[in-house]
Amino acid sequence: MSKGVLVDLTKCFGCGACTVACKLWNEKKYDDVNKPTMGENAHLVDINWTVVSKHNVTDAAGKPAWRFIKEQCLHCVDPACASSCLVKALRRTPEGPVVYHPDLCVGCRYCMVACPFNIPKYEWEQSFPKVSKCQMCSTRIDNGEMPACVSVCPNQVMTFGERDDLLKEAHRHISANKQQYIDYVFGEKEVGGTAWMYISDQPFDKIGFKTTVPKESLPAFTWQILNKLPMILVGWTAILSGIYFFNKRRNAISESKQDSKGGPQA
């Protein structure tokens, strides 16, 4: 069973406690001027593993309203970053977090290209940079604790639990409050499902979500080719070896024929 977090975006009032918890727990620096963690200009960067971005929307009554979006790695059930990693520096643990191991990383940044949500960031300002992204507090989860951001939320915007249970709860909550919520759980099917899932009263594409990603797992696409690789390898070896032995034998036969005729002609 893998863990997940369900985020109810209607409950967030933008205090940003989650972003502070992340900085405290992961000892990340602040740079409010260039890399804010909250507001319209908040973006995930090397030192911001999670941000609360502000979006101007129109609410159900047609009035202008604000929505705050808690952003971080979505922790795919079948992560493309991990499948693209040459050295297994990115691995998904059985509990759900997709964890980065800096000691293994060779810095190729394939993960950054592979991620459909543009999550992994690079420490461009460091002399020996590493990739940087939310770890879903994997060490806290190992201790049975909630991720730091989830535990500090004053409004219980986020619920931590078994992913399957949360999904059921999300659908139950939406159907019980049909007039309020969009009937969609973002993260249920996106790229084969993610550990972090969102419900909202606003269309997801209006509040900065990447809704164009495929519904199938991305490593599954490459697997369609890669799973044939052993067969191709063995097959090619067999074919090439066959050709080699065939040619060798043909040459040997033609040489022995000439020998029987009494040596080469001058």
Partner 1 sequence: MNKSSKNDPPVSRRFFLKGVGTAGMACALATLSGCKDAGKPSGGEGWTPTQYNVPGTWPVQVRGRVPIDPNNPSIVRDDRKCILCGQCAEACERIQTVEGYYALPIKDDITCVNCGQCALWCPTGSISERDDIDKVQRVLADTNLHVIVQTAPATRIAIGEEFGMPAGSIVEGKMVAALKKLGFDRVFDTNFSADLTIMEEGTELVRRINNSGGEHHQKEGGHGHTPTALPQFTSCSPGWVKFCEYFYPDLLEHMSTCKSPQQMLGSVAKTYYAEKKGIDPRTIVSVAIMPCTAKKFEAARGEMNSAGAAAGQPELRDVDFVLTTRELGRMIKKNGIDLTTLQPEKYDSLMGESTGAGVIFAASGGVMEAAIRSGYYLLTHQNPPETLLELNAVRGLQGVKEAALEVPGVGELRVAVSHGLANARTLLDQIREDKQNGRPPRYHFIEFMACPGGCISGGGQPRTSVPPSDWVRQARIKSIYTIDAQIYKKRLSHENQEVQALYADFLGEPNGERAHQLLHTTYTDRSGQLTVKTKA
Point out which residues bind partner 1 (CB under 8 A): 9-17, 19-21, 23-27, 30, 32, 37-39, 49, 56, 59, 63-67, 87-89, 91, 99-104, 130, 132, 135, 137-140, 143-146, 148, 151-155, 159-161, 201
**Type of residue numbered 22:** C
Which CB sits closer to partner 1, 154 or 235? 154
Residues 73, 150: contact at Cβ < 8 Å? no
Q: Which of 169, 227, 211 minimizes the C-alpha distance to 5?
A: 169
Using DSSP bridges, classify how beta strands 51-58 and 38-39 pair: parallel, antiparallel or unpaired: parallel
Which CB sits closer to partner 1, 59 or 205? 59
Whole-angstrom distance, CA of residue 201 vs CA of residue 162:
23
C-alpha distance from residue 181 to each of 10, 72, 158, 175, 190 (Å): 9, 22, 16, 8, 19
Which CB sits closer to partner 1, 133 or 190? 133
Which CB sits closer to partner 1, 123 or 213? 123
- Residue 22 C-beta: closest distance to partner 1, Å: 9
- Residue 181 C-beta: closest distance to partner 1, Å: 11
- Residue 117 C-beta: closest distance to partner 1, Å: 19
